[in-house]
Structures are given as C-alpha cells and as structure tokens.
Structure 1
Amino acid sequence: MFFIDQLFMQQDHQEGNLPLVGRHVIERVDLETGEKLPPSVNQKVLEGSFSTKLTIRCDGTRVRVEGNPSRWQRIDNLFGLQTIDECVEIYNHVLASYDLPPFTKNTRFAHRQKPDGKKSSLIGNGAEITLIDWTRNHAVGKGREQSFIRGLSSMQIGRGRKPKLYPDGGTCNWGEASTWMMSKLYDKARELKRHLMKAQRKKEGVSPEVLQYVTDLISYCELVGVVREEHSFRQTLLKRHNLQFYGNVTEQDFYQHLQDIESAMKTIHISHDEHQTIADQLLSLGAVKSRQAANATQSYAMMWQHGTDLRQILGSSQFYEHKARLKAIGIDIGQQFDVSRMCPTLKRSEVIEVKPLRVPDWYKMPIVAESNVLPFHAYA
C-alpha cells in the first residue's frame, strides 16, 4: 500500500493582511514607478520531536508549508499517512500556531489570464499541491536488497527514464533532475543506519528508548530485506494531469501514475547469487582443517584456472592431495579448465520473490492527533 512521504502545499489569500512568517523579510519597491511591491519572505524552519523538521512561509498573501508529514513528530516513517486529508490536518495545526488560515479544499475554479498567444491556466479557491511523494515498501528477502536494486537498475522505466545506480549499489534513481517525476529504489535498513549514526554524533545524542526502537527497526528491515520504492510527483506532472487541486483529487487519482516500477518488476526475473571463495567452501565442507591449508589449495586452483599444468610443479602426492580436496567442492584439477562449464565460486542462485512488507505488531503507526499535541519550535 502506498503512503505519503513528502508534501509541499500552498494557498493564496488575495485579500492579504496575513501575518508575515519567515526568518527575514525584504521590502521591495519598483525603482521606475516607486510602487511598493509585495514583500519577500524566506522560509522558517520548525523542529519537532526526534529532530523532525517542517518549513513554513507567509508573505502576507501566500501561505506555504513544505515537509514530510508522515515523519513529523515521529521516530521514523517506515510506514506513514495514507491520505492527503491526514497530512493537511497536521499542516493546519502548525499554521494555527502562527495565526495563519488553514489549507482548504478547492470548490470553485477559474481560468487565469495569460499573455496573448499562451494558454490560460486553471486556478482554484483552495490549496495547491506543488510536490507530493508516494512511497511503499517491498520485502525481497534477507541479503537480497542489493541484487534486487541492481537488477531493476538495468531497465529504463516509463517513457525512457534512464536509471542511475549509486556506486554503493544501495540506491537507484530514475529521472533525478526531472521537473516531471523522479522514481527511486533504496535499501531501507542502510538508510536507517545512516540516519542513526548522524543522530548519535549530535551533542544531545540518542535516548536509550529511541536507540532500542530504531535498532529493532533496522534488524526487522534486514531480516525481511526491505527495499523502499518512492515516486516524487513534481509540479509539471501535477499541472498536466490536474492533480494539484486539494479536495478535487483522491488518492486513487495518483495511483495510475505509480505503476512504472511495478511494470518493470513484472517483465524481469531478478536472481540473487551467493558466492563463496574456494577457500571458504573447503573450510565449510571440512575438506581442510585450517585456513592456511585452504588458502594453499585455493592458490593452486587459481593457477589451474589460468592454464597451469599442476602436475609439472607439484609432486605426485601433493597433486593428489589438492585434487582430493578440490573434488569435494566440484573442481577437478585433473581435467583441463573450461570456463564455460563451471563457476567455482557460485554457491546458490535464486529468483527473488517480492512481497508487500507486513507491519510488525510492535511498530508505532502514525496518529495525527498524537503528532498535533507535541510541542515544536522555530529552528532557523
């Protein structure tokens, strides 16, 4: 099931006279006419519990909030809010704290006049969505996250959106710089670890309760192999499909645009390969008694793979000793090496089965009412 991960919203109040909210305000004057222009206000950053942040801004006419409502006042957002109304309820609580009017649903529409030769644009009387991220989780199996992400990174999705695989193999983006849409897959456990390390480096550190909860969450993600799928709808796409008008669209209206990665998964079988060195295989099967003996036999196996006739450099007893060890793992150095007939380090190859991620019983799901009673303050 998809839920909302990020939401940018704004609403214009033509009557004006709203409180200015931001860090700084710049008064502007038209130098040619001397006319006073609307003030320019930069955004104010709000910080809630667990280092969560939102930004808010009002220039007297336009009210804007940016952030991740599913993460606000929560330890994590492995699972988040599934409806736009829930997200707006959180934002409206923040707006009320600054005596600003709430975001409202669009009930009337009109065409905004444009210069000659250009199409008019549709405007509503309520809030406008300028960016929204939809997210879901996949369980691909322990240790298979990187194989899954690398497998899908071999494919373009949608209308020719090319993949960008990060060097660590744990993240892949499609359309990263697009003004239309960006899609993304990444290893969730790895991201949680990165955020935890960042929090631990801060002066205030991490409380024992939070540390235990996040540690359990990381363990759960690693156990089932959680890969996060995200789709960021940018302003161009929202306006093209009239998805920007809060109250005039439902969650289902977005779902038809969330199928690119799903379609790619249906057309590709991704396998997860487990490899072991020859030395590790010898030790695990008990063919040798020490790492030193395993490494020695492995070095002769590698020489054999490069075309060396081991009978010419080993005594008879040594040759048959190493041959017996290697036969235990399916390598026969008595035959000429043929790369097309064997893969001596491949232990197992399995097709990855993708499942929806189950919510564990101990997981703390988001509750809007709880988020709205927690205090927050201006961070910058």
Structure 2
Amino acid sequence: MFFIDQLFIQQDHHKGNLPLVGRHIIDRIDLETGERLPPSVNQKVLEGSFSTKLTIRCDGTRVRIEGNPSRWQRVDNLFGLQTIDECVEIYNHVLSFYDLPPFTKNTRFSHRQSPDGKSSSLIGNGAEITLIDWTRNHEIGGGKELSFIRGLSSMQIGRGRKPKLYPNGQTCNWGEASTWLMTKIYNKAFELKQHLLKAQRKKEGVSSERLSYITDLINYCESVGVVREEHSLRQALLKRHNLQFYGIVTEQDFYHHLQDIENAMKTIHISHDEHQSIAHQLLESGAVDTLRKANVTMSYFTMWQLGTDLRNILSQSNYYVHKSRLKSIGIDIGQQFDVSRMCPTLRRSEVIDVKPLRVPDWYKMPVVAETNILPFKAYA
C-alpha cells in the first residue's frame, strides 16, 4: 500500500491582505517606472517534535507549505499517511497558528488566460498540489537488500529512464534531476542508521526509550530486509495530467504513475548470492582451527588455480595436509583446475521473493490528532 512521503501545496487568495509569513520581507521597486511592486517573502522553516521540519510562506496573497506530513511531529515515517485529506489536515493546523486561511478543496476549474501562441492551462478555486511523493516498503529478506537494489539498477524503467546506482550500493534512482518524475529505491535500515539514529544521538536530552524504539525499528528493518520505493511526482507531470487539483483528484488517480518499479520487478528475477572465502570455509568446516592456517592453505589453493603443480613446491607431507583440508570443502587439488566445473566461493544462491512489509505490533502508526501538536518553533 502506497502512502504519502512529501507534499508541496499552495493556494492563492486573490483578495489579498493576508498576514505576511516568512523569514524576510523584500520590498521591490520597478526601476523603469518607479512603481512599488508587491513584497517578496522567503520561506520560514518550522521545527516540530523529534527534529521534524516544514517550510511555510505567505506573501499576502499566496499561501504555501512544503514538507513531509507523514513525518511531522513523529519519531519516524516507516509507515505514513495514506490520504491527501489527512496530510492537508496537518498543514491546515499549522496555518491556523499563523492566522492564515486553510487549504480548501477545488470544486471547479476554468481555463487561465494565456499569452498568444501559448497553450491554455487550467486554474482551480482551491489548493494546488505542486509536488507529491508516494512511497511503499518491500520485504525481501534480511541481508538481500544490496542484491535487490543492484539487480533493479541494471534496468531502465518507464520511457528510457536510466538508473543511477550510488557508489555504496544502498540507493538507486531514475530521473534524479527531472522536473517530471523521480523514482528511487534504497535500503531503509541503512538510511535510518545514517540519518535518524545518528541525529538523535547528537541531540541532548533524548530519552533512552526513544533510542530503544529507533534501535528496534532498525533491527526490524534489517531482519526482514526492507527496501523503500519512492515516486516523486513533480509539477510538470501533475499539470500535464491535471493531478494538481486538491479535492478533485483522488489517491487512485496517482497510482497509474507509480507502476514503473512494479513493472520492472515483473520482468526480472533477481537472485541473492552469498559468497565465502576459502579461508572462512575451511574454518567453518573445522578443517583448521586458526585463521592463520586457513590463510596458508588458501594461498596454495590460489596457486593451484593459476596452474601450479603443488607437488613440485611442497613436501609430500605438506601437500597431503593441504589437500586433506581442501577436500573437506569439496576442492581436490590432485586434479587439474577447471573453472567450468566448480564455483568454490559461492555458498548459496536464491531468487529474491518480494512481498509487502507487514506492520509490527509495536509500531506507532501515524494519527493526525496526535501529529497536530503545538507549539512548534520557527528558526532561521
């Protein structure tokens, strides 16, 4: 099930005279005519509980909020809000704090007057969505995240959108700089450790209960193997498909644009291979009792792979010691090496089974009434 990860939304109030909200007000004057233009206001950043942030701006006519409503005033957003109405309810609660009118649903729209030669566009009488991110979690099995991400990174998706696999292998995206659509998959446990846990440990006064909850969350994601799928639908796409009108569009209207990863997964079988060095196989089998002995035997194995006849460089007793050790893991150095007949470091290979992530009993699901917590603070 998809839920909303980010929502940028704005609404114009043509009567004006709304409170100015932002960090700075910039007066503007037309240098040719000397005419005073409407003031420009930059955005104000709001901080809520658990280091969550939203940005808000009002220039007297247009009200705009950007942020992640599923994360606002919550420790995490492994699972989030599934409807646009729930997200807007949170934003409207913030607007009321600044005596700004709430975002309202569109009930009708009309064609906007456009310059000659330009195509006509539509304008509604309510709030306009300018960006929305939809996300869902996949459970693929602990330890298989990198294999899954690497497998999908081998494919173009949609209309020839090329993959970009990050150097650490934990993230892959398609269309990163696009004004149309950006799709991303990443290892959720890795992201939680890199950002959420690290940020909470830096803060003073963080309760042991909160850190314990975050640790449990990371352990859960690692144990079941959580890969996050995100689709960022941007303004060009929203306007092209008339998806910007809050109140007229439904959640189902967006789902058609969220199928690229699903379609890719239907056309590719991704396997997860576990590899183990010869030295560690020797240790695990009990053929040796120290890593030093295992490494010595592995060095002779490498020489054998390269075509060396070990009988010519080892004494007879040493030769049979190493031969016995290697035979315990299925390698016979008495035979000539043949790469087509063996894969000595492959421990296990299996097709990755993808399924929706189940919500653990102890997880704190988002509740709008609890997320609308005041006060919060603004900062530069």
Query: For residue 228 of structure 1, what is the amino acid of its counterpart?
Result: R
CA distance in 2: counterparts of 1:231 and 1:254, whole angstroms? 10
Distance (whole Å) between structure 2 residues aligned to residue 154 and residue 128 of structure 1: 36
- Matched letter for residue 273 of structure 1: D
Q: CA deviation at 1:122?
A: 0.3
- Which residue type is aligned with residue 8 of structure 2? F
Work out whether 1:304 is the aligned partner of 2:304: yes
Post-superposition shift, 1:375?
A: 2.2
Q: Secondary structure at the match of 1:132?
A: strand
Q: Where in structure 1 do 4 or more consecutive aligned residues deviate above 2 Å?
A: 200-203
Partner residue in 2 for 1:139: 139
What residue number does 1:160 align with?
A: 160
What is the Cα deviation at residue 90 of structure 1?
Answer: 0.1
TM-score norm. by structure 2 comes to 0.98
Instruction: Report the counterpart of residue 41 of structure 2 in structure 1.
Output: 41
Partner of 2:115: 115
Conserved 8 A contact 1:199-1:206: no
- What residue is the counterpart of 2:65 in the other structure? 65
Q: Secondary structure at the match of 2:202?
A: coil
How do 1:1-380 and structure 2 match up within 5 A? 1-200=1-200, 202-204=202-204, 206-380=206-380
State how far apart, in whole Å, the 2-side matches of 1:269 and 1:333 are: 35
Over the aligned positions, Cα root-mean-square deviation in angstroms equals 1.0
- Residue pair 1:111, 1:123 contacting (<8 A) in 2 also: yes
Q: 1-side partners of 2:349 and 2:374: how far apart? A: 49
Matched length: 380
* Contact 2:73–2:373 under 8 Å retained in 1: no
The one-letter amino acid paired with 2:317 is: S
Residue 161 to residue 51, structure 1, CA distance change in 2 (3 Å): same
SS in 2 for 1:361: coil
CA contact (8 A) 1:12 1:63 kept: yes
1:203/1:368 CA distance change after superposition, 3 Å? closer
Q: 1:102 & 1:340 partners in 2: Cα distance?
A: 69
In 1: Cα distance, 2:176 partner to 2:300 partner: 47
For residues 266-293 of structure 1, what are the alpha-carbon distances to aligned partners after superposition, in whole Å with 9 as ceiling and x for unaligned? 1000000001110111111111122222
Mean CA deviation greater in 43-52 or 109-118: 109-118
How far apart, CA to CA, are the structure 1 residues paired with 2:164 and 2:62?
36
Write the deviation string for residues 45-96 of structure 1: whole angstroms up to 9, x where unpaired: 0000000000000000000000000000000000000000000000000001
SS at match of 2:89: helix
Secondary structure of residue in 1 paired with 2:213: helix
How far apart are residue 323 of structure 1 and its match? Answer: 1.0
- Which runs of 5 or more structure 2 residues have no equivalent in the other structure? none
Q: Is the 8 A contact 2:197 2:214 kept in 1?
A: no
Q: TM-score, normalised by structure 1?
A: 0.98
Structure 1 unaligned residues grouped into runs of 5+: none
Deviation of 1:340 (Å): 2.1
Secondary structure at 1:45's aligned position in 2?
Answer: strand
Please report how far the alpha carbon of residue 191 of structure 1 lies from its aligned counterpart in structure 2 after TM superposition. Answer: 0.5
- CA offsets 1:177-203 (integer angstroms, 9 cap, x no match): 001000000000001001135324535
Which deviates the most, 65-74 or 36-45? 36-45
- 8 Å CA contact 2:200–2:211 kept in 1: the answer is no
Distance 1:371 1:117 in 2: 47
Report the 3-state secondary structure (helix = DSSP H, G, I; strand = E; otherwise coil) of the residue aligned with 1:256: helix
